[in-house]
Structures are given as structure tokens and as C-alpha cells.
Structure 1
Amino acid sequence: MAAPHSVLELIERFDRNRTAYRSEQYNEARLRIEFLNPFFEALGWDINNRQGYAEAYKDVIYEDAIKIGKATKAPDYCFRIGGTRKFFVEAKKPVINLKDASEPAFQLRRYAWSAKLPLSILTDFEEFAIYDCRIKPDQNDKATTARVMYFPYTEYVNRWEEITSVFSRDAILKGSFDTYAEATKGKRGTAEVDVAFLQEIESWREILAHQIALRNKTLTQRELNFAVQMTIDRIIFLRICEDRGIEEYERLKFLLKGTSVYKRLCDLFLEADARYNSGLFHFQKEKNWDEAPDTLTQNLVIDDKPLKDIVKRLYYPESPYEFSALPADVLGKVYEQFLGKVIRLSPSHKVTVEEKLEVRKAGGVYYTPDFIVTYIVHHTLSKLLEGKKPGARGSASKIKIVDPSCGSGSFLIVAYQYLLDWHRDRYVEDGPEKHRKELFQGPGGQWLLTTQEKKRILLNNIYGVDIDSQAVEVTKLSLLLKVLEGESNQSLTSQLSLFQERALPDLDHNIKCGNSLIDSSFYNEIQQLPLFLDEETQYRINAFDWKSAFPQVFSSDAPGFDAVIGNPPYIRIQSLKEWAPLEVEYYKKVYKAAGKGNYDLYVVFVEHGLSLLNKHGLLGYILPHKFFNSQYGEPLRNLIAEGKYLSDVVHFGDKQIFDQATTYTCLLFLNKTGSNQCHISKVNDLVSWRNNGEVVEGIIPSSSITNEDWNFAIGNSSILFEKLSSMPTKLKDIVSRIGQGIRTSANEVYVLDLVSNDGDLILAHSKQLNCTIPLERQAVLLFLQGREIKPYMLQPSGKVVLFPYKLTNGSMHLVTEDYLTKFYPKVYEYLLLNKRYLSEREKGKFNGVGWYGYGRVQNIDLMLQPKILVPDIADHASFAFDENGSYAFTSGYGITLLNTVVESPKYILGLLNSNVLDFYLKCVSTQMRGGFFRYFTQFIEQLPIRTINFSDPTDKARHDQLVELVEQITTLYKRLADVRMAQDKTMLQQRITIIEKRIDKMVYELYGLTEEEINIMEG
């Protein structure tokens, strides 16, 4: 792409007057207006908001000056898409040599790193530098540190395509910016702000925990956790207020001078109590406050040195953080991880910091990405606010929003921000002069909500509950910081004097600690409840009565919330039983969603979320989509289907939303009013969906949504899917059993390796055998793992399974031939006898000591029968035929046909491996990362089977021909496994491919597919 004429003119003008522009008299303001604004307009950015977007959605924000240290300030430009920051641009006078000057680079990187932006630009138009801002900045860094690109203005023409392909508005919408950012990600020295800040406050926790426990011997473990958490929260709050200009800069730093640091710190906390009126600083009994004041922390003893060490690391130059730039989602993400650990106090008052049990069982803490939170909140609240009016008497004031598992408050923060933006925009549209109580003009003339109005909206509309008391405090902290966002000391003081109120609201009536799923009925429902529960169990159960906790919500005129949003916990009930057995029993009694199998806790949260809504309420969750097809999801599917609650689904398939987690998720939106149809969006590319909403869309009528599996076939494929679904015969109609392979329940079995070494036999296994049982009640089979089951072919690795009728426990050891002949001669003879019947090829596989283990199996008799085998996970249809019942298997399923089935098993095998049934299974199954699908019973039993009319010669001929083709391809696969020459393999593979295509063509005819349907399926 050639540089546009406007950019050529800028280059020519700068070149012509370069000396004047490089003088001290030429300032940044003129540079921005004369060069940078038109430069970025040429990249497609609406620099002057000609589109008239609301403040929240402007392309470009000119950052207000903020004091950082004693010299730096906020970047001059913030470029955004849909209100989300993408990159900063810091402008400098051309007289400054950006190529070598380290201070401007450090200034830009410090702000962008704190804001968690991957890339940002430093420019004076004469020079253009791009920095990787994920690399932690250091005051001693050179100008070249983390710089990924640099060139002068004379190269703009030649490199215009390079610039526009990354930093143009269109490139960002298409995902090119994200792709470039990922490609340039620093390999060394990268420490993103959330990771670094987490390490920072975790080190504070260690310091404070040891110090407070050492100097305050009477503290309990709960008191210690509270004291440490509140001290950290209060310090962070005041430090952020300093960088935002709300508190006097370096007030905390003043503590470094002199002694009695903790006493002086507590004095600051008391001042904050008088100034902010927040539960974060609550040391005296307040009128109309239910919560008791904090009488613990003011009386603690803490040495000066550990506090000074913490305070030192809060300020430039030791601190790389610009606290005013820390986004709410970064703070939330840090705290979410931080709250995953707890301080343990031994009887001797020794301190350790450990991962919480529930976190350990869940495999860690996974923070919901901000783009998911934003989507759920906007999708839900935009519907709720349609036609509503703002203001204390407006209909919007009645809207009640709750997150019943709020954690660090990420969903509530975004919901609150959405409401703030919506109110401000409505007031401005109506005429700002009419709303002087709600609005004031900030720097640059933009209209902002008053603190009074922000407090009103927060207290009126936002609610949250979490079982973790520390999480509740963090949610309050985050919301209070949001109230103060955009404020200055001057604006705050003037508004406080006007309204005669302290700055912040009391959130104790809105954000509460308790178990969202358990109310006081728990003590009546659990029959075997001990007479007296220990204190730890009571705190764990933490029963919570919603109606008494929120009487303002569950009033007689409109009982219930208007919106339930969030990311409920994902905990399998088997794990929960280990540390919360009483709760598991309660869920089973009280919730329909807990009524079947080994359910996951999130299904209970969905049911409970529905119960919290009023009759017109909306629910928006991110959760695993496994319940769409799982057996345990059937009660919840039934509940949703009966009420016609399903409104919208965003299906991510195998796309991973959470970092370092293998949970396959969707966005679920329910409408308590009920709906005649559900809007389905399938996301094929996350970047395209995030940047421009690119999805495959479809509508499913509510009548099609039942308690049966939810498959949601949409687009062109939906017609073909419906056609196949309507076929009368399913696989489940012609099978006698679909049996699971070796798993972890039922009868014990042993997996063995037989080792041939000059006639010797060595048997490796995991426990001693009890061979007092009759020999004829044992069986020895070849062993298959799921990955050894291929289309039309079995590839045994040489393992053998011994099925004794009864076994006793014993220690793991190696059993030699001598051991067998001495103690278990019948077993030894039996194994030798069995080995004689193996083919020469199979015997050849038994070489080298390799593998041993044991498992459990429910279907020993199935292993001995002829059966069709399939692995439980595969990327395409992989069915094979065990014609003689020679194989035991794990990680898969064995299928036996009814005796009444006239069709050959090989005919059925051909159908199962065809493109047609592979397409169908991928419509009904759940997809995993890497393009793999689950071939579980509930999926494969749905496969439509084309039965044969044997009285029709044409139909019978098709059957026989398909059987013949299956026999041919099976033979070819066996030969392919044995050949050694590359040329032979290539020729055999070519013949296999030809036959596969013939099989597919015949199956297309059998199922009556048109050319258009074949193209859709193969696409």
C-alpha cells in the first residue's frame, strides 16, 4: 500500500522546515496538531471524533497530565477500539534525540507496562519507535531496550505498508496488531505487569504475615489473614489515590523518615476513614452501619523495617509501576491469584502460605479474560436498559445486578462502568445543563458524573456475594477505586463541601460474604448433621439467606434481580466430596441440576441464578459447554427447556478462553420471561470474534431445545444434520451393548508385558495374584490402548491382559519365570499355552521389558466377544473390528450388535468410518483442542444407521459391495503395518485412499445425499 498524499505532504513540509521544527521554541502541542494528528488520521483513526461517538467509545483519548515521580506524565494519545485500549503514543519535541535518549522511552514503557499494553509508540514525527511494553521497565534501561522497530521520517514512504499493517484502525479490527504483538513478544526479560505485581504483593504478604505473627502472639489464623489482607488493601488504595492526584503525592513515602512507622500509617488510615467513609477504613461505630468496626488492626505491633521495605518499593525509581494506569482487570486478575492462597498458622505460631484446598483441587485460579467479561456485561445490560430513563427517579435506578460468585469483582466492575457510561451519555444527550447535580465539567471540557451520582448508581444497582471474605473485601476495594476514577483532589474536595458527605459509599449492604448456594434450610435438610459443627466447618458452609441479606431486592413489588452475571466455580462433585461432603449432600436434596451422575458445581449455579431473577430477569454466564451433551447435564437442560429460558449461546468449541486451562466453554444467556427461539453463535476464530464479532450464526426454535443433547447445528450444515437426524434407525437401536473399556471401577484386571528372551518368560505386573481360583475362570487377551485403534485396523503394542476371577491386594513387584513356576505354576502354564496360539507377527511384538499397570473393568465378558472398537477421543472416525474377540482395551468402547441384525458387522463398520457419520458425530460431540472429538457412548449411539432392505436386489447388492470393500481395505491396512519399503507403503496407501473414496461414494448413495449436501459435508 502506497503512502497517501497527505502523508507525503507532511514529510515534504517537515523536510523543508526541519531546522525550525527542531528548535526549542517548537513545542509538543504544535507538533501534535500539525503533524501527528494528520499522520494518524491517515491511518484511519478518528482523531477529532468526527463520528460523534460517546466518550466511552471515542477512537482516541488525549490523556490528562498525571504526576509520576517528579518529571513524567501520561502519554499524549490513547488509541482504542470500542472503548478498549490498544496502544499509547507518546509525543516529544523533535529537538529530543529519541534514538538515544533513554528517559522518554522509559516514560512511555512505564505507563504502557502498567496499563498492560503489548506495544506502544514513541515519536516526534522525525523519528518513529515501537516498544514491546510487556518487558518490565528499569530506570537504567537504554533507549534500545525493548525497542522492536525504529526508523526516521525519511523512511515513512518505503515502510508505510509496514506501519499501516499493524497500527491502522483497520489492521487492529482484522487482528493484525495482535498477530504482530505476539510475533514480537520478548523472549527474555518479559515480566508482564500482572505477574510482577502479583509477585510484589505476595512478597508483602510473606513479610507482613511473619512479622505480625511474631509480634502479636494472641492472634488466631483468621485474624492474621484479615490483618495482612486489610493492611495490603489499604496501602494499595492510598498509593493509587496518590498517583491519581486524589491524595497528596508521596504521603506514604514520608513514612520512611523517622520511627513508629505503623502508628503513623494507622494515622493515615484514620484520616482516610474520615475522608472516604469506606468499609475499607472503618474504625469507629457508624450510624446505620450493621458491620462492626475494625478494632483489631489499629492495635497491632509491627516493626519499622518491614513496613519501610514495602513502602520503598512503591515509588520511583525502585517501582516500575504507574498506579494510576493499572487497569481494573489487571488489579482483579492479580487479586484473583493472590486470594488463591491462605496464611496458615501452626500451634507454635509458625507461618506458612499455602494454596487453598479448593484451588489445588481445581488445578489453580483462572481469571476471566476482560473481553469475555465485557461481552457478557454489555450483552446483558444493553437489553435491560432499552427504553429506560436515567436519574434517581428514572426506571434505570430500579435495575439490580448481581454476581453470586463475585471473586475479586471483575464482572461487577465492568457492569458498574457500563452503567456509569450509560448514565453520563443519556444526561449529555438530554442536555448537560439540565443535569448539574449529576454532571460536572472536567479537564478539557468533557462532562463527567459527580461523585454523588456515581455513589448513587453503585448503591442502587450493583450487588455481589462470595464465600471468601477476603474476596469480598477486594471487590469492595475495586469498586471504590472505580468511584474515584477520574477524580482529583480538587474535584473531590469541591463536591464534598457541596454535598457535606464523605467521598465513598458503604458497600456492606451491597457486597456480602456467604455461600450463594446454601441458606439456613441447610440445618434442616441434612439428616446426619452433627449436633455441634466445629468452627472451621461453620465458616466453610457459611449459610446465606438471600432475602434477608437483600431486602431491597426481594421486595413484594418486584422480587428478584434483573440480571445475574458471572463466571461460576467449576468443581467436579467428586473433588468437592473430599472437603465438603455436607454441602454435596445438601445440593443433591435441594437442586434439580444436581440430580444425575457426577455433576459439576456450575450447573447448580445456573439453576440458583435462575431462582434469583425476577420474572423478566436475564442471566449471563461463562461456563463449560460439557453439560450440553453430558449425562449429568440432562436435569439442567430439562429445567432450561421447560421454561424456554435459553436466549443466546456463544459457542467456542475447542477454543481455549482461559490461560493454562483445558476447559471448553461457552457463553450462556437465559431469559426468565421465556423465548420462542435461541440465537446461536459459533466462534471459529477468537481474534476475529474479538475484533469484529465474526461468527457463524443461526436460530434454533425453542421447540427443538429439550432435555436431550444440545447439538446446535446451524448454517448450511444444519439442513443436512436435520436430514440425517430424521432417519428412523440409530446405532443404539441395533446394538446389544456399547461397553466401556478398562477404567477405574468394577473388577480388577492386570496389564502385562510378556518378554521373550531365549525362551525365558518374564511377567511384569502390579500386584500379587491369588491363583487358588479355577484356571478356567481366567482369560488372557491382547491389550489395546485407545490410540492403537485406527480406522479398519488394530495396532497392538504387545501387551497382554490377564483377567483373574478374583484378586487379592499385594505390593507392586516384578514376577520372574522362577517365581511363577514356584508359586503359580498353573498361571505359568496357562500363559505359555496361550502364547502358542499367537501369530508369528504377534509373537514378534513381545520383546523388551516395557510396561505394567492395572486397572478396573466392568465388561470382562465383552472383551471375549467379537466387537467393533472405537477410541474415546479421536480427530476422525476410527472404528475397527475385533472379529475373534481377541482383544481387551482401554480408552475406548466396544460395540456388539444384536443377534437380530441382518446386516454384516463389516457393513456397519463401513458406515461408521464414512465421511457421512464422521460429519454427524462432529455435529453432536464435544470438540477438544487440536481438532479432537469425544466418541463417548452418548454420542456414538445417536449415529443414524442406513438399514438394508434385503428383498430389494439393488439394496442387497450395495450391502454386499460395501462389505467387500471393507474386507479389502482391512487387508490392505494389515499389509501396510508389515511392509518395510517406503515405496511399498506409498503404493498401499494409494490403494487404501482409492477404496476409502469408493466407500464414501457408496455411503453417499445409501443415505441419498445430493451433490450440494456432499459439498457441505466435505467442507
Structure 2
Amino acid sequence: MNNLEKVKEKLKLLVTDFKDNNSYYKKLSEADVEDKLVNELFVNILGWDKKDYEKRAKVRRGDKGGSADYAFKINDRIVFFLEVKKVTIPLDKEADEQVISYALSKKIPFAVSTNFEQLKIFCVEESEERKVIFRAFSNPDDYLTKFDDLLLLSKDSFEQGLLLKEAVKEERLKKRVSIDKVLLEDFWRVRTLIANDIEKNKSGKYNINEKDEIVQRILDRLIFIRKCEDMGINPENLTLEEIKHVAESRAYSHLKTLFSKYDQVYNSGLFTPNKDNDCDSITINGEIIQTLIGYLYESHDKKYKYNFEWIDADVLGQVYEQYLGKILAQTKSGKAKLKEGQAHRKEQGIYYTPTYIVDYIIKNTLGELLKDKKVDTKKIKILDPACGSGSFLIKAFDYLNEHLSKDSDTKQHKLDFQGAYSVKTSILKNNIYGVDLDNKAVEITKLNLLLKAAEKFRKLPSELDNHIGWGNSLIDDDAFEHPFKWTGDFQEGTFDVVVGNPPYFNLEMLSDEETEFLKKYECYAGKSDILYYFYNKGIHLLKEGGILGFITSRYFIEATHARNLRKYILNNCNILRIIDLSKLEVFKYVGIHTVIIILEKGQRKNNKISYQEVLDFNNINNNVNLILQSSLSEDSWVLGEKNTLKIYNKIEKSTQLRLKEISIIEQGQKSGLNEAFTVDEKIIKEYKLEKEFIRKLVKNSHIHSYNIEERGLFLIYASEKMNPENAPKIVNYLEKFKKSLKARAEACDELYSWYRLQRPRDQSLFDSTEKIVVPYRAEYNKFAYDDLQRYNDGGDIRIIVISSKEFSTKYILAILNSKLMNFYYKNIGRKKGRVYEYFVEPLQKIPILKISLEKQNSYIKLVDKMILMKQKLAFFGDKNTSETAKLEDDIEKTDNEIDELVYKLYGITEAEKKIIEESLR
């Protein structure tokens, strides 16, 4: 009997027992149903452990929702909610809506309700236009007849994402609308409505940014009030809903009165009249205010009702991040309009961090620190130097609050009715710090943290204004706009934890003055990314033994220009963890491949780094490899499994000779306008272009292992030697592109003639009788032989010209295309998802073994055979014949023969071959 049969047998016994003793089970309380039936079903049959779920105390306030009975988790992430009823209570619409509302507000796609006699699985993010019931079991016998459906609720199923896959396959999640998207659309609507009303009443007094700040302050206050209402802590039971029913002319004055009462109770600065923000002195149309208030109770289309108690701060944070993503712009008529196009925070390289990433980083930084009983928790300082809407600080708040609440002194203090409140306010006063260059993001962070600490009739700390700062974290010079001074509470070297998701963009986006300022950082390099400086600054800010946790682009691991950063990290920190997320799409539709890195400031001998490449974040703790930090240098970091690294090091040490010592490696030409300089035979004939300046063209996509696919394209090679006198027809042809050609950067500055190539490169190299050509990006090694003097347009290839007479080009080609060198390059090449970048520096590092020219002949013969067979196969195109099948078999056989020669050359054993070939699958 296999495991599945055993599970089904257990289920049969449970169902039979329930049917035989039905009258007994109908008398059970809800709690007893949980203990005797639900636990049996979910724990003993569906494989969940008691530590996998959180059982929550019920909270009832009239018609307000309470806590879900169970929140089931995988790696601390909620995957579904479960609501349990007595056997005698039917699963009606009210019961359905209760558990759906929990999941919808928490952005969890699944919810389950059961009284054991029935069970329903809800696909919660589904549009209300269609049924949200995903699977239903109308009686206990259904558990057996629909056994496969029931297994979708097993722990194994959630670990593999089977329920989600099934929902997507059935298109039940295709048109889902999550609550943050609906709320965001409503926020955008009122943003322009209020801004335009301000313009109507105070024409010309405020610029567009001032209007936006007024709108945001009003919105911040309203969200705080709505959160208080749904938590049942609104002073004097005052609600915004009452304002919906007063006369329009009095709506805003009533609202300002409400603001005043909240200021008296909470005294946080949020409701205090502010000379820098005129939302208390202006008048806004009552209809607009009532519309806005209405949107905070239910969506504009009346489909969704909002319960702000259950909208987590991180969900609200995502809404606000996207809210900030559009800029309020002013039209010629003075009206406000949201600027369409790419979100301006994304233009700055800023992306909202998914909750599961935030959880992981806080758990492995602050969480690790809290395990040390010698640490005084109340004095821990946590900083996010690019805090955005505060997601990392919110999670840090939760961690500290939970930890302090478990402390024995705090438990005793909770006997005092102010105890829990004191813990929360203490955290805001002493532990949490953040900085952001976007002032609106700073205000949102403050709001989110205040919402965390809000308690009925308790004043909120005003110190938050001194803990969440506005400014440029990297620049402290008053000569620049919005410098941030790391003094006082923000003094460098005083933080225990630094966390965040710093922005990613190249320094080319900065002004010359800003770039010049950054030269004072140890990590400075001319073509570096701004994130390097956040690492540098973050380490400076830590105290000795402090921990840094960032999620960033992973390029610094291999990038040439990150050499100084890698050196700085190695010289100042113990690297605790590196989590490679390049095969996961953490930031959707952005194309950035990421890594989580956890560092401890300080140095210890023999530090071992926990490294893993993650395919599924649910299995984050699987396949961890330990790497000695001393094995890394300022050169590209080679990270991987122990046996893989052993083989890599063997190849490294096999020879001192590198490809750069026997060759010249060059990037392909760049014209700066492909459509002008890339031509075909038809254009050449039609315009009678001078053939002296025409070259065969090869592009990235034309290159395969050993051969180049002929596409009939050519390059107009307009070097400094070409001019209107010796190539009048070409210059005449290029005239139609003249405007675009003159707009190219260097052409604008007249550094070269408008008809010239932007980067013509060394002509003699491309005219070599033979050379090797490689695409700049490929999933595996694709080195091709070129004896037709091909050129390039776009810089998307690299060429290798063998300069030493002691090496045959075809011998080197055999090595480069081998499985062994494919394996080697995957350890040194810069990764972009599943693709590797073939740039000059890593190519130069490839180790080459020297053998006699006579011994090279066996490689040359096989390469000649490969080139000929691949040319023949290309001739057949997509045709499948017995001849093409034989050719493919012969190509594979010859490829294997080359691999065997190269394995033998580098002394690779059979066991090592197996590891290499497994890693390439």
C-alpha cells in the first residue's frame, strides 16, 4: 500500500466514524469540531503540522468581522484561511463572505470554510462577476469521491503550488482584481478631483507639487480615521460616514472639526495644523469630500467593501507606492492631470518589495539579533536608508512588538492597561529609523507606522518626525538638493540593523556634480550602479557586529565595475547569506535579476557563507551550500555547490595561461542607428552603394556553436576613411536618416561626421582571415568560426582573434564550445536570468592549456567536420528527412568526441564529468 492509499484509508475511517456517530458530532461546539474533526482532516490526513498554522482568537464588535479561525502557512507566509462552523450551522452566504473578506483584505488567493459535513474552497481573488467557489464538497462522501480535489488542500500541494496552478489552468485567477488595485484606482480618481478643486478656489496660489502635498495630507488623515473606525478605537465613536449625510456646503468644515478632535486625542503631528501644508486653511467642495469618503467605505463600482482593520500596512504600502508612481502634472489651462507613462519611482530604480522578501530579510537580520539574550532589545536601532512606504520598518515593528510582548517584564507591565500601548510607542520612539529622497514616501512611512501604534484614547509619539527623515541618503553636502546629515540619532556607526531594497540605476543618470561627490566612497567606479553606494553607506552606518540585509540587482557579484565594492565588503564584513533569486521574477515585468545578501560588520577567520540558488521561495531552506569567504576575492565571485566549486577550482588551477594572453577580444561595431547602416542586397543594388565600404553582417541571433547563419545582411562600414568624395552614393543614401544620425550623442557634439559609425572599431581585427565570433548574450556557449570577414552593427557580439602562432583558432574554438568550458563560463559569466553575458573581461579569464601544434590537429579535424555538417544542416532549413536525422546524430557524436578530448586535456574524471553534465541540464 503506497502513501496515497494509506491517506485515503485514514480518510475512509474518519468519514465512516462521522456518519456512524452523526448525532454525537452534531452536538459538538465549534471548538470541539476543530479538535476532533478539522485537526484530524488537516493534520493527520492532509499532512499539515500544528506549527504550520496560526489559530487566532475571535474578536466580535457587533457586525464587524473577527479573526479567521486558522491561517495556514508555508515558510511563515499565509497561503489560505480556514473558517470552522458547528456541524449544525450551514455554510451560507454570510459564512462564505466572512472568510472571503479575510483573504481578500490580506491578498491571499484562497480561503476555506467547513462544518465538516460540507467544505468549500474559495478562489478569493476572482472577480465577483463569476462564482468564487473553486471546489465544493456537499457531504463527507464527497471527500472520497473527489479525493484528488481534497488533496489540493494538502501541505504537499501548497509546497508545490498545485492549487494555484489548477486555478490558473482553469482561468479562475485570470481576471482577478485584488483589493490594492481597486483602492489604488479610487485614490487616483480623488487625487485629480481635489487638486482641480484647489485650483478652482485658490487659482494660482499653489503650484502642482503643493497641491499634491495637500491632497496627500488629507488622504493620510482619512485613512488613519478609517483604520481607527474599523478597529473600534475612533474617539467618541465619531465616523467619516456621518459627513456623507450633512449638507455639501458644510462637509469640509465638519471634516476639519473631526481632524481637530483626532489631534486632541492622538497628538501625533498627523492632524496638527501645519504651516508647510495648507489643508486646514483651504475650502474643498463638499461633493468631492463626500465622494472621497464614500470611496473609503466601498469601491467606486460598489463591488467591494473595505475593512481597514484587515488591510495590512504592507498592502496599503503597495497601494501608496503605485499612487506615487504617477506624477500630478499641470495642463496649460491650470488643471491637474495624472501623468501617464512609466512610474517616476521606477524611473529612479525603485520597486515595491514583495512581502515574503521583506519577511525573510527582517527574520534573518533583526530576527537573528533578537536571539542574542545579551542584546538590549529596547536599544536596538533599525534603519532603512531608502524606506519608500516603510514595508521593512513595518515588519521590523511587528517583530519587535512580538518580541517585547513576550518579555516577562513587559507581560507584567501589560497588567497596566497602558502596557501594550507603551511597547508600541516605545518602539517608535527608540527603535525605528528611515530615510527617503521622496518626501511623499516619507509621509506615507510615518502614516503606516502611526497606524501600527494607534490605540483608543492614547496619544501617539511625535518623535517619529525625527526618526523618519527626508533627504538623499548618499549625499550630505549642502551644495546639493535635499542632502541628509547623518548626525544625532542618525549618527554613522550606531545602527544595529540596516535593511532595505535600495534603488538600482547607473550613475549615468546623475549629474556630473553628484557623480564627483560619490568618488569619496570606497566602492567608487566610473560605470557603477547607485546600489553599490547604498551597500557602502549601509556598512558605514552599522555598528561593529551589526547586520545588513538588502535585496538588490545581483550584477555586483560578477560585474567588472563592482570590483571595489566586492573588495570593500570582504574587507569589512562577514557575509552570512547570499540568496540568488535570478531564476525567480521577484519584480514582475521589470527584467531585474536579484539577490538577497545578509552581512555582519566585522571580521572573523574561516567565515562560511550560506549560499543557495532559489527556484521556489517556498523551499528557501533546501540545497544550502557553505562557501569559505576566504575563497572569494575582489574578482567575480564564483558561488555554487561544494563539488561544483571543487571542479571549477581544478580547471582554474590547470594552467596559468589565459585566453587574453593569446588573443585580442573586441566588441562589435555600433552605428547608433541600425536602420541606417544595416542594409540588404536589394538596397545595395538600388542605390548602387560603393562596395568598398560594404561588409557582411553578423548579429547576436545569427550565431550558433561553430557556424553562423547567413541572413543576407550587410553593414555600411562608414569609418573615418569614408567621406562624400570616395562614397557619394552611400552618403546620399544616408541623407534620409540625417536628422536621426545627427541626434546621436557624439554626432551632436560634432566629435565625428554625421554619416560616420558611432563605434567603427579596429578594422584590421574584423578583416582577419579567421576569427571566433560569440553573441554577447546566450543560454550556453555559442562560439562560431568566421573566415568571411563579417562585421557587426549594435555591439551585440564579441570577436576573438588568436594572436599567438602557437595556437590554432580551431583548437581554441573546440575548447570554447566544449561542455567543460560551458560549465566553467557559467561560474564566471554575469547572469541575467537564464542567460549569460559574454563580455570581454570574463572571456579573457578562460584558462587555455598549451599543447603542440601537432597535437592540436586532432581537435582541428573534428572542428572542420562540425563546421561542414552544420553548414549542410543549415541548407535543409526546417525540413525533416532521413538525411537531416543522420546529420543531427553525427553532429551529436562529433560534439561528444570533442567533449571527451577536452575533458581528457583538463584531467577531468568520470565522476567529475557526471557532476558537470548534471549541472548543465
Q: TM-score, normalised by structure 2?
A: 0.88
Alpha-carbon spacing, 1:155–1:597, altered in 2? closer, same or farther (3 Å): farther
Q: Report what 1:380 is aligned to.
A: 365
Q: 1:591 matched to which residue of 2? A: 521
Q: 1:561 corresponds to which residue?
A: 495
The within-5 A match list for 1:305-344 is 305-315=287-297, 319-344=304-329
Distance 1:136 1:473 in 2: 33
CA deviation vs aligned residue, 1:94-152 (integer Å, no higher than 9, x gap):
55554xx4343233322211111111112222211111111245xxx7xx711111122
In structure 1, the residue matched to 2:567 is: 638
Change in CA separation of 1:379 and 1:324 when aligned onto 2, cut-off 3 Å? same
1:426-478, Cα deviation, whole Å (9 max, x unpaired): 33xxxx7x84224679xxxxxx9610111112221110011111111111111
Which amino acid in the other structure matches residue 943 of structure 1? Answer: I
Which of 791, 796, 799 matches 2:713? 799
Which secondary structure does the structure 1 equivalent of 2:799 belong to?
Answer: strand
Cα deviations by residue, 1:676-731 (Å, 9 ceiling, x for unpaired): 345445544432x43452134122232x3222111224321111000011133444
Query: Over residues 311-348 of structure 1, what are the superposed CA-to-partner deviations in whole Å (9 max), with x where a residue is unaligned?
Result: 22333666432221112221111111111223234575
Flag the 1:1003–1:471 CA change in 2: closer, same or farther, 3 A.
same
Distance verdict in 2 for CA 1:46–1:458, change over 3 Å: farther
Partner Cα separation in structure 2 for residue 614 and residue 859 of structure 1: 51
Match of 1:933, SS? strand
Cα distance in 2, alignment partners of residues 826 and 649 from structure 1? 54
User: Higher mean Cα deviation, 917-926 or 711-720?
Assistant: 711-720
**Aligned equivalent of 2:197, options 211, 224, 237:** 211
State the secondary structure of the residue aligned to 1:150.
Answer: strand
> What amino acid is the match of 1:277?
N
Kindly indicate whether residue 623 of structure 2 is the aligned counterpart of residue 695 of structure 1. yes
The answer to whether the Cα contact below 8 Å between 2:659 and 2:848 also exists between their aligned partners in 1 is no
Pair 174,802 (structure 1): closer, same or farther in 2 beyond 3 Å: closer
Matching residue of 2:634:
707
Corresponding residue to 1:514 among 471, 483, 505: 471
Q: CA deviation at 1:262?
A: 1.1
Which of 176, 188, 192 is equivalent to 1:190? 176
Residues 422-571 of structure 1 mapped to structure 2, 5 A cutoff: 422-427=403-408, 435-438=411-414, 450-484=420-454, 492-493=456-457, 496=458, 502-520=459-477, 523=479, 541-548=481-488, 550=489, 553=491, 559-571=493-505
Deviations 1:897-935 (CA, angstroms, capped at 9, x unpaired): 12x331211111111111111110011112233x32111
Give the 3-state SS of the residue equivalent to 2:636 in structure 1: coil
Amino acid at match of 2:892: T
Partner of 2:880: 982
Structure 1 counterpart of 2:740: none
Q: Which residues of structure 2 form unaligned runs of 5+? A: 734-754
Q: Tell me whether 1:76 sits opposite 2:69 in the alignment.
A: yes
* Residue in 1 that maps onto 2:216: 229
Identity of aligned residues (%): 29
The answer as to 2:132 corresponding to 1:146 is: yes
Query: Once the 2 structures are TM-superposed, how far is the Cα of residue 616 of structure 1 from its aligned partner?
Result: 2.5
Asked if the contact 2:632–2:638 (Cα under 8 Å) also holds between the matched residues in 1, the reply is: no
Determine the C-alpha separation between the residues in 2 that align with 1:658 and 1:396. 33
Report 1:98-113 matches (<5 A).
Answer: 98=91, 101-113=92-104
2-structure distance, mates of 1:419, 1:103: 36
Q: Structure 2 vs 1, CA of residues 853 and 693 (structure 1 numbering), >3 Å: closer, same or farther?
A: farther
| Residue number in structure 2 paired with 1:780 | 694
Tell me which residue corresponds to 2:225. Answer: 238
Give, in whole Å, the separation in 2 of the partners of 1:939 and 1:821: 40
Equivalent position SS for 1:546: coil
* 1:62 and 2:56 correspond: yes
Q: Which amino acid aligns with 2:523?
A: A
**Matched ranges for 1:875-890 at <5 A:** 875-888=779-792, 890=795
Aligned to 2:615: 686
Structure 2 residue 589 is matched with structure 1 residue 603: no
Q: Tell me the alpha carbon deviations over residues 761-790 of structure 1, each in whole angstroms, 9 at most, x when there is no partner.
A: 2249xxxx9xxxxx89x5321101111111
In the alignment, is the contact (CA less than 8 A) between 1:172 and 1:691 conserved in 2?
Answer: no
Number of residue pairs aligned between Structure 1 and Structure 2: 882
Is the Cα–Cα contact under 8 Å of residues 90 and 115 in structure 2 kept in the other structure? Answer: no
1:961 paired with 2:863, answer no
- Structure 1 residues 14-33: aligned runs within 5 Å: 14-16=18-20, 28=30, 31-33=33-35
Q: Structure 1 residues 821, 999: CA separation in 2 closer, same or farther (over 3 Å shift)?
A: closer
**Residue of structure 2 equivalent to 1:725:** 652
- The answer on whether the counterparts of 2:69 and 2:83 sit within 8 Å (CA) in structure 1 is yes
What per-residue deviation string (whole Å, max 9, x for no partner) do you get for residues 387-427 of structure 1? 335xxxx7222221100100000111111111112222333
How far did residue 176 of structure 1 move? 4.2
- Judge conservation of contact 2:693–2:717 (CA < 8 Å) in 1: yes
Q: Identify the residue that residue 385 of structure 2 maps to in structure 1.
A: 404
Letter in 2 for 1:88: F
Paired with 2:371 and 2:37, the residues of 1 have a C-alpha distance of: 42
Q: 1:194 to 1:295 in 2, by over 3 A?
A: closer
Per the alignment, residue 253 of structure 1 pairs with 241
Q: 8 Å contact 1:312–1:318 — kept in the other structure?
A: no
Tell me, yes or no, if structure 1 residue 135 matches structure 2 residue 137.
no
Q: CA offset at residue 542 of structure 1?
A: 0.2
Q: Is contact 2:778–2:835 with CA below 8 Å preserved after alignment? A: yes
Among residues 259, 269, 273, which one is paired with 1:279 in the alignment? Answer: 269
Distance 1:357 1:542 in 2: 24
SS in 2 for 1:655: coil
Q: Which amino acid aligns with 1:870?
A: V
Partners of 1:881 and 1:572 lie apart in 2 by 35
Higher alpha-carbon deviation: 861-870 or 165-174? 165-174
Tell me how far apart the structure 2 counterparts of residues 571 and 884 of structure 1 sit (CA, whole Å). 39
Mean Cα deviation higher: 938-947 or 674-683: 674-683
Corresponding residue to 2:896 among 986, 990, 997:
997
| Separation of aligned partners in 2, 1:204 and 1:44 | 47
Structure 1 equivalent of residue 513 of structure 2: 582
Moved more, 82-91 or 222-231: 82-91
C-alpha contact (below 8 Å) 2:546/2:600 kept by paired residues: yes
Q: 1:735 aligned to 2:629?
A: no
8 Å Cα contact 2:608/2:627 also seen in 1: yes
- Return the alpha-carbon distance in structure 2 between the equivalents of residues 780 and 294 of structure 1: 65
2:115 counterpart (112, 124, 144): 124
Provide the C-alpha distance between the structure 1 equivalents of 2:367 and 2:297, rounded to a whole number of angstroms. Answer: 41
Mapped contact 1:132–1:184 kept (Cα < 8 A): no
Alpha-carbon shift at residue 162 of structure 1 (Å): 2.8
For residue 792 of structure 1, report the CA deviation from its aligned partner: 0.9
Unaligned runs of 5+ in 1: 284-291, 442-447, 497-501, 524-537, 770-774, 811-819, 829-851, 951-955
- Seen in structure 2, the aligned counterparts of structure 1 residues 273 and 809 have a Cα distance that, compared at 3 Å, is farther
* 3-state secondary structure, aligned to 2:107: coil
Counterpart amino acid of residue 543 in structure 1: P
Moved more, 598-607 or 742-751: 742-751
Residues 999 and 636 (structure 1), Cα distance of their counterparts in 2 relative to 1, 3 Å cut = same
The secondary structure found in structure 2 opposite 1:450 is: helix
